């Protein structure tokens, strides 16, 4: 079997995303090539496979890798990328089956999740989390707020106005001051908020925010939170009769865009 040369293009294409490397890789895929991953299902044909690999690369899936390696196997090549401890995946592995001409017939991508616990760090919301919450609002995929209602029962509600307020705080707007959440905050200010982003997307992941909420009546803060909400949410309370809530975060855990978080205040 001839030397395929696939790693010479495959690794830099996924590391850096250069069109020339993807083009070189595409020339080494057979017409019957298939690509399989846990989050995409099967893809076939050189153009479709390259397009799928580009989508993973542009989503930042592989940019945090700390090392890359390739090794020969019978009628195949294996490529592996290792990631730091705060990554959701410990490593990605690609099994590339080769035809008699040395071209790739099948690529199986496997993400191997971290098993080691992540050491805690201080709560510091970053630009990536900020952008993820903005995307959640824009895509009408609101965060879910969990609280204990005035009857002492667990309750949940979607909130489309959740936004980063500071490095250690979230905020959101409550349209009705007579609703269940406002009543609940009068006796129990502890909240949790859950973010979900589609796996395989640029901001895919699941984050849990836990903290203590306070209704803020200062006009500059009210204006900022109201105006920081989507226009569709503002139209639900055009007179700004609702309440601005600021959440002092005590913990942020989960993962986002391939990065794990274990923040504790």
At the topology level, CATH places domain 6-113 in: Nuclear Transport Factor 2; Chain: A, (3.10.450)
Closest residue by Cα to residue 194 from 222, 155, 158: 158
pLDDT at 139: 72
* Statement: the pTM of the whole predicted model exceeds 0.85: no
For 66, the 3-state DSSP assignment is coil
Token readout for 256 is 């986002």
199 has a pLDDT exceeding 70: no
Token readout for 40 is 């995409």
- Rg (alpha carbons) of the chain, rounded to whole number: 23
Q: In the chain, pLDDT over 90 holds for what percent of residues?
A: 85
Mean pLDDT in residue range 185-203:
88
Span 162-177, pLDDT tens digits: 999 999 999 999 999 9
Q: Where are the domains of the chain?
A: 6-113, 127-264
Mean pLDDT in residue range 203-222:
96
Domain 127-264 has CATH 3.30.70.20: no
């Amino acid at each position: 079997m001839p030397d395929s040369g696939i790693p010479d293009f495959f690794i830099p294409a996924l590391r850096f995303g250069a069109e020339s490397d993807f083009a070189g890789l595409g020339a080494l895929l057979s017409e019957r090539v298939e690509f399989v991953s846990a989050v995409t299902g099967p893809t076939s044909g050189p153009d479709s496979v390259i397009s799928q690999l580009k989508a993973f690369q542009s989503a930042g899936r592989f940019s945090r890798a700390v090392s890359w390696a390739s090794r020969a196997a019978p009628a195949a090549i294996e490529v592996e990328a290792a990631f730091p401890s705060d990554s959701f995946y410990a490593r990605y592995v690609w099994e590339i089956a080769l035809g008699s001409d040395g071209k790739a017939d099948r690529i199986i991508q496997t993400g191997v999740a971290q098993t080691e616990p992540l050491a805690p760090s201080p709560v510091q919301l970053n630009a990536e989390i900020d952008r993820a919450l903005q995307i959640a609002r824009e895509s009408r995929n609101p965060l879910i707020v969990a609280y204990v209602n005035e009857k002492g029962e667990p309750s949940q509600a979607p909130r489309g106005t959740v936004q980063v307020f500071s490095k250690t705080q979230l905020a959101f707007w409550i349209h009705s001051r007579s609703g269940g959440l406002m009543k609940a905050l009068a006796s129990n200010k502890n909240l949790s908020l859950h973010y979900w982003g589609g796996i395989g997307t640029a901001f895919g992941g699941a984050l849990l925010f836990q903290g203590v909420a306070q209704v803020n009546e200062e006009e500059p803060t009210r204006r900022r939170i109201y105006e920081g909400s989507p226009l569709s949410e503002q139209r639900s309370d055009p007179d700004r009769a609702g309440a601005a809530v600021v959440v002092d975060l005590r913990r942020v855990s989960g993962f986002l865009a391939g990065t794990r978080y274990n923040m504790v205040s």
